[in-house]
Structure 1
């Protein structure tokens, strides 16, 4: 039985919290909540469960460390405040507490991460003899587990393309995703944060370089591309309302180039409702989103991952799956050698341990 603290109860955290409470191999001992209105509330209330857990949310990190948990599940948003998140995660690691999380997406491929994000956490792991693992769906699963599975089916690969095609209309995250991607902006407005020079390759370039390393491919460069789609009509959805002339779709990619041609590509097509960007790729009929890996080679391989849930929207299903990528490896991470680990270091069977009960 692993003693676990849940850090944050937002879009992903509420689902990881619910999973921890329901797992017979995990014991929830603490919950962190930054919002004053959540502090003092029972964990069950924060994740939609009816039976109280007796574990009340706190904003006191020292109090959580004092609980001496085996692991912290860190799902707070980190990309907009990386230095604060680095400090928080390092506190747990230095105290000898393992951390699994979905924040600081640069660490999905830790060997490719810049020194400013990697080195402080490596030092913290060494100080506390602890382990850190960061992953998710994309960045994460589609660019590591799914891509490597597809590549294992070919004798020769000419190119690899990892694609996310999703309708974000029902994703209730305008505060970060909506503003960072620039939905609603006009062509004359400033380029949104997510697509400022170097940002695409900063987030997704590590996935490209990581696959290149696995393939033994020497890339000439990793470049990015970005294009926006502006709606001629008003679009209303859960995330926001986009007025005519506003951006309601975006397509962007990080491309690993060799000999002038992209050979490893990580691409996203994101729209608000199916009405947006009608000439761009759509998921297979009947689905709101898909993660696809296409390997051009001998033979050609196409792998599609589509999520669903009996009562939740596909974007919520995606949040559950994002959380699953870290909750499912808690036991392995607690047994792993100290340091920052990547998905390719974890035996596949360890990623599904203890799921059936």
Structure 2
């Protein structure tokens, strides 16, 4: 069993605890939190499992790392604290752990990461013998392994488009929604997430990954941003009121230019209410979806919807992001020390997990499928 820490119990951390607890090859040995109110609470309670895991939450990072965990799922946000997130990950790497995280955007494609981020990570890996894999919370698989898999079904590929289409009123991070992205702010407010160069910093690595996998030479990575105001005031169930005339929708693209044309595009369409920008792409059912479109012959379109925590699409996206990261741990342990990306780390089948799917576990031997290989 691989001794595993989950560091952070927010949107991704809750899902990571559930994923580690369900994995037949991993053992949850510690949970690290920042909020003093969570100290001592059981990991199962924090993750909404409905049962205890006998792992109390702690703020003692030093003690948790001193215990020698094999793996760390770093789920603390890096949105508003990128330097602190980098320091935390470096600390875990120095302790010799395999670290998986969505929090270091610049390392999605580590080959193109700024030296001031890449250097301390490589030094920590050299010193401690750990390894690192960064995959996105948006979620990463929808912007790397899924489009690459689908592209292999086409005879010719003219362009690849990855879309996240989402209702932000269901996203359980009000500060990020209102201030980082700017929902509900005056139209002259400058959201940090939409500032020039920031979308490329966050998602450009995934554009470069796709280009590298397809053998395409990028001329450039460019940005395109559109914002729309609310035509009338709206009231949301979880985030309260948003006034007319304030930002109600955002659409941006990070475009990989090949041969002078945008051939690899990561597009985000986000709204605070479905009434805003009705002419923009919308998800089936209205809540959220990830879509991959391969323009070529044949034209291929795949839409994926995930739900978790009582049908929440935001929670479903977080859960699949956590599943990708947690599912990579055993491969990383086998691979040894290094800095890895999505093209290195395979997406493995859910071996040994079939018995965790509720009623299926009651169907005799079906619940034991794959456990010899777990």
TM range (shorter): over 0.9
Taking the aligned partners of 1:94 and 1:111, their CA distance within structure 2 comes to: 21
Paired position in structure 2 for 1:356: 354
Equivalence for 2:192: 193
**Matched position secondary structure for 1:344:** coil
TM-score, normalised to structure 2's length?
A: 0.90
TM-score under structure 1 length normalisation: 0.94
User: Is 1:325 equivalent to 2:324 in the alignment?
Assistant: yes
Note if contact 1:179-1:192 (Cα within 8 Å) is conserved in structure 2.
yes
Identify the residue that residue 214 of structure 1 maps to in structure 2: 213
Give distance in 1, aligned partners of 2:231 and 2:162: 30
- Report Cα offsets for 1:224-278 as digits up to 9, x if no partner: 0111110121111123421011111100011112344211111100011222211
- Contact kept? 2:139, 2:317, Cα under 8 Å: no
Corresponding residue of 1:303: 302
| Change over 3 Å in CA distance of 1:139–1:347 after alignment to 2 | closer
Instruction: Tell me if structure 2 keeps the 8 A contact 1:143–1:207.
Output: yes
> Do the aligned partners of residues 321 and 204 (structure 1) sit closer, same or farther apart at CA in structure 2, a change above 3 Å counting?
same
Deviation at 1:41, TM superposition (A): 1.9
Q: 1:55 to 1:137 in 2, by over 3 A?
A: closer
Alignment coverage as a number of residue pairs: 354
Residue deviations 1:279-312 (CA, integer Å, cap 9, x gap): 111113x252221111111221112111134823
In structure 1, stretches of 5+ residues that fail to align are: none
1:1-357 map, 5 Å: 1-138=1-138, 140-189=140-189, 191-237=190-236, 238-284=238-284, 286-309=285-308, 311-348=310-347, 350=348, 352-357=350-355
Q: Distance in 1 between matches of 2:91 and 2:232?
A: 49
**How far apart are the structure 2 equivalents of 1:264 and 1:38?**
42
Give the superposition deviation at 1:342: 1.1
Between 22-31 and 174-183, report the one with greater CA deviation: 22-31
Deviations, residues 13-41 of structure 1 (Å, cap 9, x unaligned):
11211232333322111110001111222
Measured in 2, the distance between the counterparts of 1:206 and 1:71 equals 24
Q: 2:372 aligns to what?
A: none
CA shift, 1:215, in A, is 2.1
| SS of the residue 1:276 aligns to | coil
| Residues 29-61 of structure 1, C-alpha deviations (whole Å, 9 max, x = no match) | 111000111122222221223433332211111
The answer as to whether partners of 2:213 and 2:343 remain within 8 angstroms in 1 is no
Distance (Å, rounded) in 1 between the aligned partners of 2:343 and 2:260: 29
Q: Does the aligned pair in 2 maintain the 1:139–1:204 contact within 8 Å?
A: no
